[in-house]
Structure 1
Amino acid sequence: MTTLPRIDAFTDELIAIRHDIHAHPEIGFEEQRTAAIVAAYLHELGIDVHTGVGKTGVVGLIDGKRGPGQTLGLRADMDALPMDEETGLAFASKHPGRFHGCGHDGHTTMLLGAARYLAETRDFAGRVVLIFQPAEEGLGGARTMIAEALFERFPCDEIYALHNAPHLDHGQIRVMSGKAMAGAEFFDIVIRGRGSHGAQPNHARDPIVVATQLSQAMQSIVSRNTNPLDAAVVSITQLHSGSAYNVIPQSATLSGTIRTFDDDVAALIHQRIRALAAGLASAYGVEIEVDIRNIFSVLENHPSQTEALAAAAREIVGDANVADLGRPVMGSEDFADMLKRVPGSYCWVGHAGDVPVHNPAFVLDDGIVPIGASLLARVAERRLNELAAASTARAVNA
């Protein structure tokens, strides 16, 4: 494994920054402190900094010293999760209900490390756009940055990102061309019935009975309506109703998520949920309101950029540690929306530890920081110089 020596020399500084961000987590669109740390660090490096892009997002611009060329984006997410931390770390979250349980503190720090390396060396042609994104965890941070003219203000020819992966061994990197992560919808289904005394159910139109029927019926959608070769998930993750032992409530709410890799499959699932809800509403004499919201697009990596990312990864961790992911995953990632606008690729970097992300005991291994920083720096440096060389060769041969 050959992480960049220049990055190794300031890794302790990066880890200290990560620990500070970890101790002060901020959820989506509240990343004021984190964004200020990022902006101040970039300013100290002499980088052109733009704040407030997508509410709390930060963008930095670095021009290479090898002359004009293409523009390459590097993106990291900054937000934490609305959950408690149970790691016992000395630098654990100081804020109850806020926890960097997905490792975005690490991703932010890795991009800061890559930024320092690229700002100090500038050994590339063209420009690097550093994108520190807010609100990845289901709140639409990428879409908000895009809607606020991210790529009109800071055009990119290619874009890259990574995510930590505790299910892989330390230093392993996995790439995948094509559809790699599922698209996702969140849904809320409100059932409005008629409440009554619990001892007199004959006076009620019980929304809990309807909710349980609908929950069971929805489990048949994937097994009995979608093509068995089309991967899909329908998960009900919340059921809220009632406030007393002896009161049949007025309403009940089901909430959850849908995951697919195909828009037509998603549309089929939406239609079946609405049809089941309408049928049960008629059968039980209640009202059912269905709200389904698209949150994540399908993440689709582009072939040329995936190979470029893999080539850079092989330089950092060696051929034996870089492989194809093998099959797509049902998790989702809003970097997918950036990939719909700009060709690029997203990869997974393994680290020590076997507790999954989004678990209250998740711990990000500090040893991944120089690996991720080196990978981001190397793919930018390597790819921009490669594209510049290809452009020069075309001009000579024209």
Structure 2
Amino acid sequence: MMKTLSEKELIQIRRHLHTIPELALHEHQTHDYLMKVIQSFDQSHLTIKTFQQLPTAIMVRVGGSNPKRTVGYRTDIDALPVKEQTGLPFSSHHQNIMHACGHDIHMTVALGVLNYFSIYQPKDNLLFFFQPAEESEYGGKRAYEMGLFHDEWKPDEFYALHDNPNLPAGAIGCRMGTLFAGTTEVNVDLIGKSGHAAYPQDANDMVVAAAEFINQAQTIVSRSINPIQSGVVTFGKMEAGTIRNVIAGKARIEGTIRGLDQAMIKRIDQRLKDIGEGIARSFNCQVNVGLNQGGYLPVQNNPKLTKFFIHHMQSDPAVNFIATKPAMTGEDFGYLLSKFPGTMFWLGVNDTSPLHSATFNPKESAIQKGVNAIVGFMQDRMDH
């Protein structure tokens, strides 16, 4: 019988993945390396599938010995457009691209779990989904809409993790209900009339209109949302004008909405549209409010499965379980959880640098602990 990957081998895999980060839908080198590792496992119970319509995605099915369900496990494989500043000997080889969100950790843990069950055949069927495009381009939604989950490739329940620098290395964090917020991209185009700075009466100033739109949008959370609930409206980018003495005839505002449930996101969406209509009337201009949620729905954990997951992790003496609060970060696993019952959870990686930062350096000691915790959970789940 083959041996499971050692902690040292898992760390070597993680470090290699860290050197080859790639952006959403361009994870070709990552795909090839993952295939190489997966193909090195015992293939007795494995079926590997790739997809022409989503070429960097990989699915691996592990045939169960006495299956009554198919348990899905998803890991994301893409990276971010961040220039690494960790100084690590295994830093990114790809300029201005980095695994600054820890997807290299995610992939390595998934490979460790898959490797274990390739040797020790599970009772139930297992489905491992190596998913491209989580950070942008919503790969989970793409995969679902392309019909990738069908017949024996359809999970009855789905699980996934996200690393968390604020938790101790190897700790498992979870909660009932919403783990991550849903997110919507907001693009607002305001169109008026440019003109000379000395003759404002002959122009229609979109800098002033944009400023008023932003100010009014800040009242949505404070005056249109229940104070004991949570929502966020942030505008991170604004473009207008060409030179100081010309009144801007156009302005563009770009931002994001965050909400802990879909009804709240829709409420904020509608209030932004209402404000846009009001600005258009009061400034006699054109205001186009574009909203794009894509696949970034709130990550809402299934009550029954999450209760079982939490109970298992609390009962396992080898697991440091921590009950966590909801986070306003987005995750496209929320879309898959809207289609399949399941649970998302945190894996602690104990770092002083936050996710998405150029100095993010998760503790590698979390990898083996994460593998052990998930293997234990899956074995427990298959006994029930």
CA–CA distance in structure 2, aligned partners of residues 54 and 305 of structure 1: 29
Tell me how many residue pairs correspond in the alignment. Answer: 376
CA–CA distance in structure 1, aligned partners of residues 213 and 124 of structure 2: 56
Q: Is 1:182 matched with 2:178?
A: no
Q: Deviations over 1:319-354 (max 9, x none)?
A: 6x21322x3222221111211222211111112312
CA–CA distance in structure 2, aligned partners of residues 203 and 84 of structure 1: 46
Give 1:317-396 correspondences, 5 Å limit: 318=318, 321-325=320-324, 327-384=325-382, 386-387=383-384
Q: Quote the residue 1:302 is aligned against.
A: 302
Given candidates 25, 28, 35, the residue that maps to 1:32 is 28
Q: Is the 8 A contact 1:128 1:380 kept in 2?
A: no
Change (3 A) 1:77 1:317: farther
Q: Quote the residue 2:228 is aligned against.
A: 229
Q: Is the 8 A contact 2:70 2:126 kept in 1?
A: yes
Change (3 A) 1:216 1:383: same
The aligned amino acid for 2:246 is V
Where structure 2 has 5 or more consecutive residues not aligned to the other structure, the ranges are: none
Q: Is the 8 A contact 2:178 2:301 kept in 1?
A: yes
Given candidates 138, 141, 144, the residue that maps to 1:140 is 138
Tell me the CA shift for residue 368 of structure 1: 1.3
CA–CA distance in structure 2, aligned partners of residues 147 and 274 of structure 1: 28
Q: Quote the residue 2:148 is aligned against.
A: 150
Other structure's SS at 1:27 match: coil
Q: Is the 8 A contact 2:161 2:346 kept in 1?
A: yes
Q: Is 1:254 matched with 2:258?
A: no
Q: Is the 8 A contact 1:188 1:255 kept in 2?
A: yes
Q: Which stretch of the first structure deviates more once superposed, 198-207 or 246-255? A: 198-207
Q: Deviations over 1:254-296 (max 9, x none)?
A: 1111111233322222222112112212222221111011231
The aligned amino acid for 1:137 is E
Q: Quote the residue 2:16 is aligned against.
A: 20
Q: Which stretch of the first structure deviates more once superposed, 271-280 or 246-255? A: 246-255
The aligned amino acid for 1:136 is E
Other structure's SS at 1:185 match: strand
Q: Is the 8 A contact 2:170 2:367 kept in 1?
A: no
Q: Is the 8 A contact 2:81 2:97 kept in 1?
A: yes
Higher helix share: 1
CA RMSD of aligned residues (A): 2.0
Q: TM-score, length-normalised on structure 2?
A: 0.92
The aligned amino acid for 2:58 is V
Q: Which stretch of the first structure deviates more once superposed, 214-223 or 306-315? A: 306-315
Q: TM-score, length-normalised on structure 1?
A: 0.88
Give 1:167-178 correspondences, 5 Å limit: 167-178=166-177
Q: Quote the residue 1:43 is aligned against.
A: 39
CA–CA distance in structure 2, aligned partners of residues 133 and 74 of structure 1: 10
Change (3 A) 1:381 1:101: same
Q: Is the 8 A contact 1:68 1:125 kept in 2?
A: yes
Tell me the CA shift for residue 303 of structure 1: 2.7
Q: Is the 8 A contact 1:18 1:109 kept in 2?
A: yes
Q: Quote the residue 1:120 is aligned against.
A: 119
